[in-house]
Amino acid sequence: MINRFTGAAAVASTILARQPAAWLSTTRISAKGVLTTAQHTLTILGVTALVVMAVLFVRPDLARALSDSLNPAPVAEPVTLVAPPLSALMDAPAPAPAAGAASPLSVEEKALLGTQKQQRWVTDWLSKRYRVAGDATNMLVSTAYLTAREIKLDPLLILAVMAIESGFNPFAESPMGAQGLMQVMSKVHHERFQEMGGLQAALNPVANIRVGSLILKDYVTRGGSVEAGLKSYVGAAAFAHDDGYGAKVLAEYQRLKQVSSGKKVPTITPVMAQAKPAPKADAPASDTQIAGL
What are the per-10-residue average pLDDT scores of the chain (293 residues)? 51 53 57 70 69 64 64 51 44 40 58 82 96 94 94 95 95 89 84 74 86 92 94 91 94 96 91 47 41 48
Cα–Cα–Cα angle for 103, 138, 133, rounded to 5 degrees: 170
This prediction's pTM:
0.59
Q: Cα–Cα distances in Å, from 179 out to 73, 78, 89, 146?
A: 37, 25, 18, 21
In this prediction, residue 135 carries a pLDDT of 94
For residue 280, the model assigns a pLDDT of 42
Please give the pLDDT value at position 269.
82
pLDDT value for 10: 54
pLDDT value at residue 117: 93
Q: What's residue 102's pLDDT? A: 47
What was the pLDDT predicted at 19? 55
Backbone φ and ψ of 211, nearest 5°: -65, -45
C-alpha 253/C-alpha 46 separation (Å) is: 85
User: Which residues are CB-contacts of 163 (< 8 A; sequence separation ≥ 6)?
Assistant: 126, 129, 130, 252
Q: How far is 288 from 177, CA to CA, in rounded Å?
A: 33
